[in-house]
Amino acid sequence: MGEAIGVAGSAVGIISLGIQTAQGILWYYRAWKDQDDDISRMCSSLHNLTETLKVLLDTIAPPATFGKSVKGSVENNINTFHGTLKKLEYELEKLKDAELPKPGARSMIRRHVRRACYPFREATLVKIQGDISEARSNLGSALDILGLCVYLVYRYSPAKAKLIRVFSDEISGIRRQVNIIVRWQKDQETQKIVNWLSPLNSWLKQADISNQRQPGTGQWLLDDPVFLEWVKGNKESLWCRGMPGVGKTVLTSAVIEFLEKDLPIPDIGLAFIYCNYKERLLQKIEYFAGTIARQLVEQRPAITDEVRELYEEHCGKGTRLSCAEYLGLLQSLAKGCSEVYIIVDALDECIDKDEESIWSYLLTKLKASVPNLHLFCTSRHISDVGGSLVSSTHIEIRASDADIEAYVQEQIKSKNRLLGFCREDAALQDEVLAAVRLKSRGMFLAAQLHVESLAKKQNLRAVRKALNELPEKLDSIYHEAMERIRQQSTEDSTLASRVLSWIVYAVRPLQLTEIQHAVAVNDIEPGDRSISKDSLISQSIIINACAGMIKVDEESNIIRLIHYTTQEYFERSGLVHFPNAQRNIGVTCLKYLSLGVFDEGYCRTDRLYEHRLKANPLLDYAARNWGSHIREESEQTIQALALEFLLDDSKVSSSTQVLLTGKYLYPGYSQEPPRNIRGVHYVAYFGLIDIMAKLLLVKDGVDPDSRDTDGQTPLLWAARNGHEAVVKLLFVKYGVNPDPEAINGRTPLSRAAENGHEAVVELLLAKDGVDLNSKDSGGQTPLSWAAIHGHGPVVELLLAHDGVDPDPRDSGGRTPLSWAARNGHEEVVKLLLTKDGVDPDSRDVYGGTPLLWATVNGHELVVKLLLAKDGVDSDSKDNGGQTPLLWAARNGHEPVLKLLLRKDGINPDSKDNDGQTPLSCAAGSGHELV
């Protein structure tokens, strides 16, 4: 603990001035009655800012037990806040000059007249709201740093702890030991490492969802004896299931908040995942394991040597951790935690029948790797995930009548027209509460849509009539909402249709600014080089036009359908509501990519690249996805639009730089994509066969064998992505080189094998001149790549060719069998073990054998196969003197350990180069069962 040092008086003065300024602006706007929603929201934000400043002042004004580094960081952040405060001061001075009518006259000013005056213009309100958000953001780091005292103060002063929790709630996402994280954010190397583990900042999502929860709702779950038993550790897994729309995700946010702020247990590890149907293609084992690992790493005092070594090993090769490596890392990180709580929300949104085995594997491995694990899952009523949750305790998620009523009351308050009707007729609110509660059948989602419908009515009679006709089934509720959309003005109805079709058919979640630019493309005029700000439609207009079917996350600015069931509704009826959605989205993307602002081509610096993305928000989505949306389209006008774009090398260069640039920020990251990519490469990437055929017929000549600066040809791109028809076209009609080698040594066969494209591999194997054993810069052959990724059918195809070497060694001395064993690919291991010429006990440069690598990662079935094979030394030592048994003990793989101990010739007391035995390793790693 540091000595008692007070924060500088200048910082205290800045916070005091901030309180006065915020209160002055708040007083002015609250003086007006019948506030619009945006004014009410701004006032609420001002009030929250004021309260946050008061708590901060209360914390820093008296001398406190802060170390000098904490004191300095707090003062620096408050000084940063001072710059934003000046903007708010300026607005306050302008408000003082604006005449405030006498009280009796205020109600007589018509709203549309009022909105034309300075203080009520949308631009003014947006600017003030932006200044407020900037102020809160600038204060965030100061609050984070002070947040380090939460646990200590909790022990010594509960009253002060309560105050600190107040501003922790205000800056959503503050976490245990956040002072450490703030310092990390200034450490670029650390940020690179955590972003490499996972690019996902889960706390932004938590903040968005937590903000939606009505105070007091969901307390029944936190008080449930079954839940409390799970928190204490008496239940390993808790599976909460419920029907759609009952508030499972919001309850999950309450659980996370409880564990993060109110659980009086030191040194816990907390990680959570909000599954999202829109990100299903991304949400694989590595995605989830990486997300969990990042959160646990961020809670450590510093980056561990193990994490840094893994980063350095992979970063040089441009690779990520394998699933086995992630699980090993999670096991190691868990050792530094007293308990580990992992929360998975909406499990049903990211799995289908084909993925149950994957999820079963992940959940089973988590339980095996993390002995102090508390697992919490929510979902609809689905069958057990491959048996992995069969022993879980269950709680049925439901929305109580009291929670529904509280929610509806808050919804009514936010709807000025409906609120006015309730004030006009005192009995109406009770009627609304009763009818909505009854017709919602315990679903917050239905209640929200019912209130949205009632809020559009124009008189009391219409409201009461609607109360008697409220539908009960979600499909009927959605159908009614779509009818309301169609009954709007043509402009609003068309806007809603465009926005909804983008949200439904986009391949990833979109931010509001992306949607705004997408809609604005329709208003492009000749000569426009970019989308002008005055052509963007405001958030409030977009929300109102969509009749309650969408929402915008406050923290991430992502625009979404209000629920997963809304997506399911449109998947069933989308062709009726949006018959040309894919075509229209593809055309919009092409028009956007063809704007004159992209004539400059490839950005030469990270700064210029980032400026381009920021100034043109739809660029990222359009560049990565235009081809996917028009793949099935054969309309001549669309193909003509595509050809015009593809023949413009500068625009193609601008777009493909975005396409091939990763999300991980480090110096020079935007300069890694190759240059000289032509339209023919771009079309091959997407596999657009009709457009490719027309592009190659252009009179000026488009070279079907052209190379980018990385030496990649269109054939290589088509093979890499599995586009069989394009590969055939390039072979049959244009006779391209079937085996072009890129500068890193990769060939079309190597890329197709890596990605498991069986049909393309067959085509390439049938061509003369293809080197079946070509080695890339890492010494890996097509067979090596297929084995690494577990593509059994491709391995079988390659092994069937006499010219394929079944046992090549890469630069690290690893063979295909070694890679398959390391990654747990049982089918591939079986295929290789039956092939003559494969050494089942080969050693790599580290002295590791296939058996040792399978043991390190706990692949029981692979270990069993290898132990049954003649010639495998079950007690071999690597360069560090470590045997398979020692590795199994160190990593806590009990089933593998049992297999090894049954084998003759195993020395249970063997020592490695440091004198460690299997027993000492197991004890040192905390594996009591081993």
* In the block, residue with structure tokens 């050792």: 335
Tell me how far apart the alpha carbons of residues 139 and 182 are, in angstroms, rounded to a whole number.
12
* In the block, residue with structure tokens 């560090």: 880
Tell me how far apart the alpha carbons of residues 834 and 581 are, in angstroms, rounded to a whole number.
51
Residue 29 in this model has a pLDDT that exceeds 50: yes
- How many H helices and E strands in the chain? 48, 8
Helices assigned H by DSSP within 268-415: 285-298, 305-315, 323-334, 356-369, 401-413
486 C-beta neighbours (distance < 10 Å), count: 11
Encode burial over 104-116: b for 16+ CB neighbours within 10 A, e otherwise. Answer: eeeeeeeeeebbe
User: What DSSP state is assigned to residue 394?
Assistant: E
Residue 104 in this model has a pLDDT that exceeds 70: no
Amino acid present at 924: G
Residue 691 in this model has a pLDDT that exceeds 80: yes
Encode burial over 894-909: b for 16+ CB neighbours within 10 A, e otherwise. Answer: bebbebbeeeeebeee
Tell me how far apart the alpha carbons of residues 93 and 760 are, in angstroms, rounded to a whole number.
69
Residue 353 in this model has a pLDDT that exceeds 90: no
User: What DSSP state is assigned to residue 118?
Assistant: G
- The tens digit of pLDDT for each residue in 625-636 reads 999 999 888 788
pLDDT category, 928, cuts 50, 70, 90? low
CA count, 13 A, side-chain hemisphere, 356:
11
3-class SS letters over 56-113: HHHHHCCCECCCHHHHHHHHHHHHHHHHHHHHHHHHHHHHHHCCCCCHHHHCCCCHHH
To the nearest 10°, report the CA torsion of 132, 138, 144, 146: -100
- The tens digit of pLDDT for each residue in 241-274 reads 887 778 888 899 999 988 988 776 778 899 998 8
Mean pLDDT value across residues 782-786: 96
Mean pLDDT value across residues 222-247: 84
608 C-beta neighbours (distance < 10 Å), count: 12
For residue 525, what pLDDT is reported?
85
In contact, 731 and 684? CB cutoff 8 Å: no
Residue 503 in this model has a pLDDT that exceeds 70: yes
For residue 892, what pLDDT is reported?
83
For residue 678, what pLDDT is reported?
96
For residue 442, what pLDDT is reported?
78
Amino acid present at 800: A
* In the block, residue with structure tokens 């609120």: 419
Claim: this prediction has a pTM higher than 0.95: no
The closest of 607, 599, 621, 595 to 532, measured between CA atoms, is: 595
Tell me how far apart the alpha carbons of residues 412 and 399 are, in angstroms, rounded to a whole number.
18
The closest of 896, 892, 891 to 906, measured between CA atoms, is: 896
- The tens digit of pLDDT for each residue in 745-763 reads 999 999 999 999 999 999 9
In contact, 850 and 883? CB cutoff 8 Å: no
Amino acid present at 41: R
Amino acid present at 257: E
Strand ranges across the sheet with 269-274: 269-274, 340-345, 373-379, 237-241, 393-396
Determine if residue 274 is left, alpha or beta; phi over 0 gives left, psi from -120 to 50 gives alpha, anything else beta. beta
The closest of 917, 898, 897 to 909, measured between CA atoms, is: 917
| Farthest-apart Cα atoms in the chain, separation | 98
Residue 926 in this model has a pLDDT that exceeds 70: no
The length of the chain, given as a count of residues: 930
For 634, counting Cβ atoms within 10 Å of its Cβ (0-12 exposed, 13-18 middle, 19+ buried), the class is: exposed
The closest of 856, 858, 869, 866 to 894, measured between CA atoms, is: 858
- The tens digit of pLDDT for each residue in 859-887 reads 999 999 999 999 999 999 999 999 999 99
* In the block, residue with structure tokens 């001549």: 636
Encoded tokens for 290: 């990486």
Residue 685 in this model has a pLDDT that exceeds 50: yes
- The tens digit of pLDDT for each residue in 891-905 reads 888 889 999 999 888
